[in-house]
Structure 1
């Protein structure tokens, strides 16, 4: 099996706390395997009836505490204030549009930009529904902030976000985060949840040796 036939697909949602917790493991694993290209697909967690105010999701605080205990992920004070106030609505379509807008100008930094989005929300308490957040991330990464905002607000980003949601559905993924290994035409679940980089590595070696 040639290395060119191996790649990674990561299905996440910017408003998914478990994805925020998993991001450190993914970063360590992917830095160890730069030869594996990484495609990131937003999953659309908070869409339709699931798109509601944080205050109507009473389990959030307990889940976040569990994520912290299992992954050491830090939930910032500004985010915790936002969750406690309760009126903020998590909109996965808007977040996916933001991801599309950022990566349109820097596809090679898709993972870094996805991590920056989650840091903005879970650490700084900033809205991923708001164009201003993407302008700030763009400036931090040396991108044209005005162009990113224009792309975010363009209908093409909505269209591309929904195309990515469809790709996730076609993969049969229903939980986030999910890391897949694409080996030729085959797909293998490689990691997710609270898996450590070492466990992901062990799973990779098991798949490759089969």
Structure 2
């Protein structure tokens, strides 16, 4: 069995989910986690943040429900409303980091979101991924090339297709997979205890199915 985490680095609710994700992975170190980037802001939706008037209100709700804070760097970055969130760039950078250390994909996804929501670093700036890679002890040259490398773009687009195939229409979405069985554990917001309960049900259903096949 494994977990599949579909998130978007520019999604505030994905950022708010990080404490839950950290706790779930702490409780279940035996479960590998596949991290998939979604494409929330791409194409026509890769537009200045002022066009998304709900962002500030949503951020307040996210803080209220999850306890996460938004850093001064982030507030400065978006203050005049001109900053453009481009999920393709974010997914490219995430793909390069993930390739460098696949077993640390959850940690790196959290670092990418902290770079934006805490430090106010653009995920369309190659230097952002160089910084994240350096802080994680990874090779920085590949991270710096993330936004121009054709392989990174292909990996990002493959992530978008994977998210669609999984039926993830909102971020974050956390799923459990066991062979050809898949169940949704969380969409948007959920606590670790709720996720644990659903994982137990999923495992029990699998055990019953296996027993009936004998």
What is the TM-score of this pair, normalised by structure 1? 0.94
1:185 is aligned, of 180, 197, 202, to: 180
| Cα distance in 2 for residues equivalent to 1:192 and 1:90 | 22
1:30 is aligned, of 25, 30, 50, to: 25
Do 2:48 and 2:82's aligned partners in 1 also have CA atoms closer than 8 Å? yes
| Cα distance in 2 for residues equivalent to 1:74 and 1:153 | 31
| Cα distance in 1 for residues equivalent to 2:117 and 2:9 | 9
Pair 1:140 & 2:138 matched: no
Pair 1:18 & 2:13 matched: yes
Report the alpha carbon displacement of residue 147 of structure 1 after superposing the two structures with TM. Answer: 2.5
2:194 is aligned, of 199, 202, 207, to: 199
Alignment of 1:49-128 (within 5 A): 49-128=44-123
| Cα distance in 1 for residues equivalent to 2:16 and 2:74 | 15
| Cα distance in 1 for residues equivalent to 2:30 and 2:24 | 11
| Cα distance in 1 for residues equivalent to 2:200 and 2:79 | 43
| Cα distance in 1 for residues equivalent to 2:77 and 2:169 | 27
Q: CA RMSD in A?
A: 1.0
Unmatched runs of 5 consecutive residues or more in structure 2 = 206-214
| Cα distance in 1 for residues equivalent to 2:131 and 2:21 | 24
Report the alpha carbon displacement of residue 151 of structure 1 after superposing the two structures with TM. Answer: 4.1
Report the alpha carbon displacement of residue 139 of structure 1 after superposing the two structures with TM. Answer: 0.8
Report the alpha carbon displacement of residue 157 of structure 1 after superposing the two structures with TM. Answer: 0.5
What is the TM-score of this pair, normalised by structure 2? 0.93
